[in-house]
């Protein structure tokens, strides 16, 4: 009897809890601020990207509000924590979709974007995701917009640069087993095969691995003269370090992570001369990008990097769609978003195609003296 | 006896009220939280069976949860089978795998069995993460259809709520029956003193396997419901820390009674929602909270609550020294 | 290539061995598995950053200070997780250590931020012998690990204090009867365990960088090492650690680099089935 009393007591304070969190609709009160939701990692292993994301979004909102906001209304952001995993991302997204936001910014991790895709379809709120996987376009989700250059472009660019510019003949591929890296590696492999220069070896590892000797030793034994790699930041740093430790002096062309400050700081002198395909670097030749880099450094005292840049761009894209739509009606906003063409961001120029893929170009970058320098731009479309 | 009948009606009315009220007052988001909580409760019940009743610590439950989810996902997405077949397959398949594992692993005694279950969950997770042709590897499996019987589909959050609630009630009733049956008593006999139980004629090896299999089947159905609810599953959900979470919920609520899992799950799933505004500090409070609660209430909240209730009752509600014996 | 793999396996093995030693010490003393042992490695690593990069201590001094801090931390941890629960069921202590591992990860994130941190090695550079190379820092780590293991052995077997610790580990009640202050013995054991693992973290920080998640999978694999080596002995832990290091590295190279974790745990299960007490381990008394 007493134990069920306890259950009853707990039940009693649950009902008000549930009632207290009731749904809100995106208000169309003409004077109230417009809210955008942001799903980001504030805890868990990816908490660092969460901080950069916040920086990028808040800086964009400042800029937008300083220029008059959205047709006179101020823009505001609501952040929800995804705990660094897929289930948390879905949770965070669902929380935001019920809280009266007009647009939502999704995570930069392709796996999480795939996880929230069903929720996006259900909620019917225009959502800008920043994963680069090609699988996102395949979702055929008209409410999901990929505010990034897809791997179809960047992975192909990596492969072509390795074979054509660096004249590498025996290329090895190394990638993490997550969706982004696996997908990108598959695209690169196909590109190389189509060029008649198939990779001599394709190796993968699990995120969180600390010792890459097994895969690197295999690459060394295969006699490869270059490695294409897709990793996250800590692994990129470790790989750059261990490649040199194993005396593997071959060219390394990596994904975005390889020229981030974290990876370069961790690998120190081993990061020298590593190439990468990047969405954004602080030394970008784009006028708007360079301006962003300068102001970011002044405001936050740290260097900008691609997380903050992508989220800055996504926020300004959202503002653009909201402005063009003239209201917060979700269908109007969705249509306005889909119609965005040649929108110049700090990372790249955005034009949404029929699959809602937005990014159009990437940069080929090389680290010199610890700083990534742009070598050339690759336009995908 | 009168108490039992009253108790039964109290619980039944509680559930009926919950079934009607909760969908009405909750937002879609909170309803999803409730659904996930109920699914988690089924897994904690599985921990209750294998550990609370039979005394065998198992860290494999989250792995079995994953097996159930993946079986459903594979059957409905890749083989296009009906959801009803999928849910049965999940339950039976998970049970089968657990039975086979149990045959091998219950030769180990005491904590060694527990250690082996750590190996089981890590291996299962490795398979989910890397066996690309079957589990989709890191891509996971998406596009899982909603559960449906014939032409009746459970697509909305509220439909899922009712579906899951029905299963939760069913599973709880089964657990209640088992608890009071000879089988349940043999579980508890093994937990309390395995050698004595064997002397009384309990085949401990066989009984432990039964407990393990039954528990795994609970996780199997929970996994299936999870797949139908979220329509996308990936390996990162089915991990060792998740199993540890079930254990914590069971211990916090109280491992000895059926009410324990209810309290433990509700507490650890719903409180974080209330405190969401604490953002970065939630996990820290959770960790510290677990440590403190173990010290203050090692029998869990139900056990500790009972003790507190008893001591207040003995003392009398007023704070005077009592003169009577009672 | 094989030679390089052996070196890598040995190096990873020492990592697992240091964590495993910590596990075994606590288990022998109080019969409980400490699920926060991997986080001791992480804390040691973070202290290494604070002591060198933020406070500018030379590495030698940092080593000593870190050892002291980790020892104190071990005692503190003992009073939070084990001591209040010493009379309860051992599951409660296990749950408490699970809670502690979560809390420690978050505390680390709050104190040091979420970014991975790099630390300068005590001895920089690579040592190269014919076709293989290994970082000098690794060689130093192996050396210090050997010293630590030797030190623990000497302590436990040859000194009065060590005998007190062993007596308490074998039978707390009897030890209390003959006048041994049990709380000192168990507290000290936790301190030594934290010290060893923490110093390991400090030494490995320059090689693998310090992240809040470094304790997780490493801790679990070290746990597998303990089981294979046997829960009874400290040298079993080191041997088990090295074995797991080899399994990890060689299966990564020759079988599959993505299944290497699963293979380690498969070995765990096989070892349990074939020889549950491990290579050196305690005897299991049950014959019934």
Q: pLDDT by residue (tens digit) across A90-109?
A: 989 988 988 889 999 999 88
B266: CB partners within 8 A, 6+ apart: A10, A11, A14, B37, B41
Least confident among A3-17, A24-38, B268-282, C177-191:
A3-17
Shortest CA gap A234–chain C (Å):
7
Q: Tell me how many residue pairs between chain A and chain B have CB atoms under 8 A apart.
A: 128
Q: Which DSSP string do the residues of C190-224 spell out, in sequence order?
A: HHHHHHHHHHHHHHHHHHH-B-TTHHHHHHHHHHH
Shortest CA gap C56–chain A (Å):
18
User: How would residue A13 be classed by pLDDT, with cut points 50, 70 and 90?
Assistant: low
Q: Under an 8 A CB cutoff, do B138 and A18 touch?
A: no
Q: Under an 8 A CB cutoff, do C92 and B298 touch?
A: yes
Question: How many residues does this entry show for chain A?
Answer: 381
How many structural domains does chain B have?
A: 1
Model confidence at C175: pLDDT above 70: yes
- Hey, which residues 135-194 in chain B have their CB within 8 Å of chain A? 137-140, 142
Q: Which residues span the domain enclosing C215? A: 2-274
Calpha distance A224→C186 (Å, rounded): 55
Q: Is the domain of A269 the same as that of A291? A: no
Average pLDDT, integer, range C156-175: 82
Calpha distance A337→A146 (Å, rounded): 11
- Tell me, yes or no, whether B10 lies in a domain: no
Least confident among A7-11, A57-61, A365-369, B45-49:
A7-11
User: How would residue B320 be classed by pLDDT, with cut points 50, 70 and 90?
Assistant: very low
User: How would residue B165 be classed by pLDDT, with cut points 50, 70 and 90?
Assistant: very high
Cα B57 to Cα A366, B60, C145: the distances in Å are 53, 9, 33
Q: Is the domain of A297 the same as that of A325? A: yes
- Tell me, yes or no, whether A314 lies in a domain: yes
How many structural domains does chain A have?
A: 2
- Tell me, yes or no, whether C184 lies in a domain: yes
Q: Is B297 on the interface with A (CB under 8 A)?
A: no
Number of H helices, E strands in chain B: 14, 4
Q: Is the domain of A247 the same as that of A291? A: no
User: How would residue A2 be classed by pLDDT, with cut points 50, 70 and 90?
Assistant: low
- With beta carbons under 8 A apart, name residues in chain C contacting A48: 113-116
Calpha distance C240→C271 (Å, rounded): 11
CATH number at residue A228: 3.40.50.2300
Model confidence at C277: pLDDT above 90: no
- With beta carbons under 8 A apart, name residues in chain C contacting B244: 35, 98
- Tell me, yes or no, whether C279 lies in a domain: no
Q: pLDDT by residue (tens digit) across B255-308?
A: 888 888 988 898 888 877 777 777 778 888 888 888 888 888 777 777 666 676
Q: Mutation test of the interface with chain B: which of C23, C94, C108, C112, choosing the one with the most B Cβ atoms within 10 A?
A: C94
Shortest CA gap C130–chain B (Å):
36
- Tell me, yes or no, whether A116 lies in a domain: yes
pLDDT of C209 reads 86
Q: Which two tokens stand for residue A283?
A: 């030394």
Q: Residue by residue, what is the 3-state secondary structure of chain A?
A: CHHHHHHHHHHHHHHHHHHHCCCECCCCCCCCCEEEEEEECCCCCCHHHHHHHHHHHHHHHHHHHHCCCECCECEEEEEEECCCCHHHHHHHHHHHHCECCCEEECCCCHHHHHHHHHHHHHHCCCEEECCCCCHHHHCCCCCEEECCCCHHHHHHHHHHHHHHHCCCCCEEEEEECCHHHHHHHHHHHHHHHHCCCCCCEEEEECCCCCCCHHHHHHHHHCCCCEEEEECCHHHHHHHHHHHHHCCCCCEEEECHHHHCHHHHHHHHHHHCCCEEEECCCCCCCCHHHHHHHHHHHHHHCCCCCHHHHHHHHHHHHHHHHHHHHCCCCHHHHHHHHHCCCCEECCCCEECCCCCCECECEEEEEEEECCEEEEEEEEECC
pLDDT of C244 reads 92
- Tell me, yes or no, whether B35 lies in a domain: yes
Calpha distance C155→B60 (Å, rounded): 38
Shortest CA gap A130–chain B (Å):
17
Helix axes C182-208, C2-30, angle to 10 degrees: 160
Shortest CA gap A247–chain C (Å):
8
Model confidence at B164: pLDDT above 70: yes
Q: pLDDT by residue (tens digit) across A293-334?
A: 999 999 998 888 888 999 999 999 999 999 888 888 889 999
- Tell me, yes or no, whether B77 lies in a domain: yes
Q: Is the domain of A163 the same as that of A118? A: no
Q: What is the mean pLDDT of chain A?
A: 86
The label of the residue with tokens 């970014």 reads C115
Q: Under an 8 A CB cutoff, do A265 and C118 touch?
A: yes
Average pLDDT, integer, range A233-246: 89
**Residue that terminates a domain, selected from A278, A313, A336:** A278
- Tell me, yes or no, whether A375 lies in a domain: no
Q: Mutation test of the interface with chain A: which of C41, C107, C252, C265, choosing the one with the most A Cβ atoms within 10 A?
A: C252
- Tell me, yes or no, whether B15 lies in a domain: no
Q: pLDDT by residue (tens digit) across C47-99?
A: 888 888 777 777 778 888 889 999 999 999 999 888 888 877 778 888 899 99
- Tell me, yes or no, whether B12 lies in a domain: no
Model confidence at B196: pLDDT above 60: yes
- With beta carbons under 8 A apart, name residues in chain B contacting A98: 27-29
List chains adjacent to chain A, taking adjacency as at least 3 C-beta pairs closer than 8 Å.
B, C
Nearest by CB to A182, from B28, B138, B306: name it: B138
Nearest by CB to B108, from C92, C98, C276: name it: C276
Sheet containing A127-129, strands listed edge to edge, beginning at the edge strand earlier in sequence: A75-81, A34-40, A103-105, A127-129, A144-146
Report helix, strand and coil shares of chain B as percent, to nearest 5: 80, 5, 20
Count CB atoms within 10 A of the CB of residue C77: 26
Sheet containing A201-205, strands listed edge to edge, beginning at the edge strand earlier in sequence: A201-205, A171-176, A226-230, A251-254, A275-278, A361-368, A371-379
Q: Is the domain of A161 the same as that of A259? A: yes
Q: Which residues span the domain enclosing A225? A: 152-278
CATH number at residue C179: 1.10.3470
Q: Is the domain of A162 the same as that of A274? A: yes
Q: Is A207 on the interface with C (CB under 8 A)?
A: no
User: How would residue C282 be classed by pLDDT, with cut points 50, 70 and 90?
Assistant: low
- With beta carbons under 8 A apart, name residues in chain C contacting A265: 118
Calpha distance A129→A310 (Å, rounded): 10
User: How would residue C266 be classed by pLDDT, with cut points 50, 70 and 90?
Assistant: very high
Question: Is the Cβ–Cβ distance between A141 and B253 less than 8 Å?
Answer: no
Calpha distance C100→C121 (Å, rounded): 29
- Tell me, yes or no, whether A379 lies in a domain: no
Nearest by CB to C98, from B116, B130, B248: name it: B248
Model confidence at C285: pLDDT above 70: no
- Tell me, yes or no, whether A45 lies in a domain: yes
Model confidence at B321: pLDDT above 60: no
- With beta carbons under 8 A apart, name residues in chain B contacting C98: 244, 247-248, 290
Calpha distance C223→C129 (Å, rounded): 32
Radius of gyration of chain A (CA): 22
How many structural domains does chain C have?
A: 1
Q: Is the domain of A272 the same as that of A297? A: no
CA dihedral C100, C105, C106, C111 (to 10 degrees): 120
Calpha distance B282→B274 (Å, rounded): 10
Pairing of strands A144-146, B141-142: unpaired
Model confidence at B24: pLDDT above 90: no
Shortest CA gap B326–chain A (Å):
18
> Hey, which residues does A175 pair with through a beta bridge?
A204, A230
Q: Is the domain of A161 the same as that of A240? A: yes
Count CB atoms within 10 A of the CB of residue C237: 33
The label of the residue with tokens 């049990």 reads C182
Calpha distance A252→A245 (Å, rounded): 14
**Residue that terminates a domain, selected from A278, A311, A341:** A278
Angle at B259 between CA B254 and CA B264, to 5 degrees: 55
Q: Under an 8 A CB cutoff, do B108 and C110 touch?
A: no
List chains adjacent to chain B, taking adjacency as at least 3 C-beta pairs closer than 8 Å.
A, C
Q: Is A172 on the interface with C (CB under 8 A)?
A: no
Model confidence at A19: pLDDT above 70: no
- Tell me, yes or no, whether A99 lies in a domain: yes
Shortest CA gap C284–chain B (Å):
9
Question: Is the Cβ–Cβ distance between A335 and A277 less than 8 Å?
Answer: no
pTM of the model: 0.87
User: How would residue C104 be classed by pLDDT, with cut points 50, 70 and 90?
Assistant: very high
Q: pLDDT by residue (tens digit) across A108-161?
A: 888 899 889 988 998 899 999 998 888 888 888 999 999 998 888 889 988 999
CA B241, distance to chain mean position in Å, is 14
Question: For a pLDDT cut of 90, what percent of chain C falls above it?
Answer: 19
CA dihedral C54, C59, C65, C68 (to 10 degrees): 130
First to last CA, chain B: 24
Kindly identify which residue of chain B lies nearest to residue A93, measuring between CA atoms: B29
Q: Under an 8 A CB cutoff, do C102 and B294 touch?
A: no
Q: Which two tokens stand for residue C124?
A: 């920089």
Q: Mutation test of the interface with chain B: which of C262, C267, C284, choosing the one with the most B Cβ atoms within 10 A?
A: C262
Model confidence at B326: pLDDT above 50: no
Nearest by CB to C109, from A47, A211, A233: name it: A47
- Tell me, yes or no, whether B237 lies in a domain: yes
Q: Which residues span the domain enclosing B259? A: 29-319
The continuous run of DSSP H or E covering B279 comes out as none
List chains adjacent to chain C, taking adjacency as at least 3 C-beta pairs closer than 8 Å.
A, B
ipTM of the complex: 0.86
Q: pLDDT by residue (tens digit) across A263-301?
A: 888 888 888 889 998 888 888 888 889 999 999 999 998
Q: What is the mean pLDDT of chain B?
A: 86
3-class SS at B257? coil
Q: Under an 8 A CB cutoff, do C259 and B130 touch?
A: yes
Q: Mutation test of the interface with chain A: which of C210, C242, C258, choosing the one with the most A Cβ atoms within 10 A?
A: C258
Q: What is the mean pLDDT of chain C?
A: 85
Based on the number of CB atoms within 10 Å of its own CB, is B69 exposed (0-12), middle (13-18) or buried (19 or more)?
A: buried
Angle at A222 between CA A218 and CA A228, to 5 degrees: 80
- Tell me, yes or no, whether C287 lies in a domain: no
Q: HSE on the CB side for B137, CA within 13 Å?
A: 17
Calpha distance C194→C187 (Å, rounded): 11
- Tell me, yes or no, whether A345 lies in a domain: yes
- Tell me, yes or no, whether B21 lies in a domain: no
pLDDT of A87 reads 85
Calpha distance B50→B36 (Å, rounded): 22
Q: Which two tokens stand for residue C11?
A: 């190096």
Which is more confident, A31 or B2? A31
**Residue that terminates a domain, selected from A231, A246, A278:** A278
3-class SS at C56? coil
Q: pLDDT by residue (tens digit) across B44-99?
A: 999 999 998 988 899 999 999 999 999 999 999 989 888 999 999 999 999 999 99
Q: Under an 8 A CB cutoff, do A94 and B7 touch?
A: no
Kindly identify which residue of chain C lies nearest to residue A241, measuring between CA atoms: C207
- Tell me, yes or no, whether B5 lies in a domain: no
């Amino acid at each position: 009897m007493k134990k069920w009393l306890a259950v009853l007591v707990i039940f009693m304070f649950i009902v008000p809890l549930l009632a207290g969190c009731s749904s809100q609709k995106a208000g169309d009160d003409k004077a109230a601020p417009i809210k955008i939701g942001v799903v980001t990692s504030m805890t868990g292993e990816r908490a660092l990207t969460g901080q950069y994301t916040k920086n990028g979004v808040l800086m964009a909102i400042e800029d937008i509000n300083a220029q008059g906001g959205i047709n006179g209304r101020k823009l505001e952001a609501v952040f929800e924590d995804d705990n660094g995993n897929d289930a948390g991302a879905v949770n965070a997204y669902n929380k935001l979709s019920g809280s009266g936001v007009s647009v939502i910014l999704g995570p930069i991790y392709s796996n999480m974007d795939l996880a929230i895709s069903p929720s996006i379809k259900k909620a019917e709120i225009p959502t800008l995701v920043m994963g680069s996987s090609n699988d996102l376009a395949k979702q055929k989700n008209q409410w999901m917009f990929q505010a990034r250059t897809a791997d179809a472009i960047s992975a192909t660019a990596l492969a072509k640069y390795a074979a054509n510019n660096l004249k590498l003949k025996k290329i090895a591929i190394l990638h993490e087993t997550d969706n982004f890296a696996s997908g990108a590696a598959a695209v690169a492999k196909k590109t190389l095969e189509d060029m008649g220069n198939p990779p001599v070896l394709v190796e993968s590892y699990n995120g969180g691995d600390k010792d890459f000797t097994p895969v690197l030793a295999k690459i060394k034994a295969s006699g490869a003269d270059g490695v294409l790699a897709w990793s996250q930041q800590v692994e990129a740093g470790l790989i750059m370090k261990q490649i040199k430790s194993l005396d593997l002096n071959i060219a390394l062309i990596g994904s975005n992570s390889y020229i981030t400050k974290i990876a370069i700081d961790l690998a120190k002198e081993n990061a020298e001369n590593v190439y990468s395909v990047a969405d954004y670097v602080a030394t970008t030749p784009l006028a708007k990008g360079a301006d962003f880099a300068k102001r970011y450094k002044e405001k936050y005292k740290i260097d900008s990097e691609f997380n903050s840049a992508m989220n800055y761009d996504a926020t300004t894209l959202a503002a653009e769609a909201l402005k063009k739509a003239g209201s917060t009606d979700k269908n109007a906003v969705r249509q306005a978003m889909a119609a965005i063409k040649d929108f110049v961001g700090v990372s790249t120029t955005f034009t949404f195609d029929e699959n809602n893929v937005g990014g159009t170009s990437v940069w080929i970058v090389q680290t010199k003296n610890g700083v990534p320098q742009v070598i050339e731009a690759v336009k995908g479309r | 006896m009168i108490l039992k009948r009253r108790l039964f009606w109290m619980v039944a009315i509680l559930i009926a009220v919950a079934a009607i009220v909760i969908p009405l007052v909750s937002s879609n988001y909170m309803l999803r939280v409730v659904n996930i909580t109920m699914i988690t409760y089924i897994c904690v019940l599985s921990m209750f069976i294998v550990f609370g009743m039979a005394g065998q610590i198992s860290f494999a439950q989250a792995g079995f949860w994953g097996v159930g989810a993946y079986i459903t996902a594979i059957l409905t997405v890749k083989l296009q089978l009906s959801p009803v077949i999928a849910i049965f397959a999940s339950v039976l398949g998970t049970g089968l795998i657990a039975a086979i594992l149990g045959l091998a692993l219950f030769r180990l005694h005491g904590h060694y069995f527990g250690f082996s279950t750590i190996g089981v969950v890590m291996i299962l997770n490795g398979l989910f993460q890397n066996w690309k042709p079957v589990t989709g590897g890191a891509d996971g499996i998406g596009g899982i259809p909603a559960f449906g019987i014939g032409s009746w589909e459970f697509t909305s959050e509220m439909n899922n709520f009712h579906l899951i609630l029905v299963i939760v009630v069913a599973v709880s009733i089964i657990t209640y029956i088992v608890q009071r049956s000879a089988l349940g008593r043999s579980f508890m006999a093994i937990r309390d003193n395995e050698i004595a139980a064997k002397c009384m004629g309990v085949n401990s090896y066989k009984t432990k396997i039964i407990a393990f299999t039954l528990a795994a089947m609970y996780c199997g159905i929970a996994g299936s419901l999870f797949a139908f609810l979220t329509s996308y599953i990936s390996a990162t959900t089915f991990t060792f820390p998740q199993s540890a979470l079930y254990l914590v919920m069971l211990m916090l609520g109280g491992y000895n009674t059926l009410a324990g899992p209810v309290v433990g799950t509700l507490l650890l799933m719903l409180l974080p929602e209330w405190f969401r505004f604490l953002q970065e500090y939630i996990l820290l409070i959770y960790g510290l909270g677990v440590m403190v609660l173990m010290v203050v209430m090692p029998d869990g909240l139900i056990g500790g609550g009972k003790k507190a209730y008893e001591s207040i009752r003995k003392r009398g509600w007023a704070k005077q020294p009592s003169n009577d014996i009672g | 290539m094989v030679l390089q793999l052996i070196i890598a396996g040995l190096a990873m093995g020492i990592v697992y061995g240091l964590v495993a030693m910590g596990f075994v010490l606590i288990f022998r003393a109080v019969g409980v598995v400490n699920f926060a042992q991997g986080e001791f490695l992480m804390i040691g690593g973070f202290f290494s950053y604070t002591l060198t990069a933020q406070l500018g201590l030379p590495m030698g001094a940092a080593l000593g200070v870190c050892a002291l801090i980790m020892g104190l931390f071990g005692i503190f941890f003992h009073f939070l997780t084990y001591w209040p629960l010493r009379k309860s069921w051992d599951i409660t202590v296990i749950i408490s250590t699970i809670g502690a591992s979560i809390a420690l990860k978050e505390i680390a994130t709050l104190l040091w931020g979420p970014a991975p941190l790099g630390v300068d090695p005590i001895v920089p550079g690579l040592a190269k012998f014919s076709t293989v190379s290994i970082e000098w820092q690794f060689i130093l780590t192996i050396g210090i690990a050997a010293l630590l293991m030797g030190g623990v052995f000497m302590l436990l077997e040859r000194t009065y204090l060590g005998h007190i610790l062993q007596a308490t580990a074998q039978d707390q009640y009897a030890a209390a009867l003959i006048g041994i202050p049990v709380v000192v013995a168990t507290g000290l054991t936790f301190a030594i365990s934290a010290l060893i693992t923490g110093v390991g973290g400090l030494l490995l920080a320059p090689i693998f960088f310090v992240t809040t998640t470094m304790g997780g999978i490493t801790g679990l694999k070290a746990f597998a090492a303990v089981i294979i080596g046997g829960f009874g002995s400290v040298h079993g832990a080191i041997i088990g650690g090295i074995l797991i290091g080899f399994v990890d590295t060689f299966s990564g190279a020759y079988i599959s680099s993505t299944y290497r974790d699963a293979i380690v745990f498969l070995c765990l299960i096989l070892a349990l089935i074939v020889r549950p007490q491990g290579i050196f381990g305690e005897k299991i008394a049950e014959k019934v």
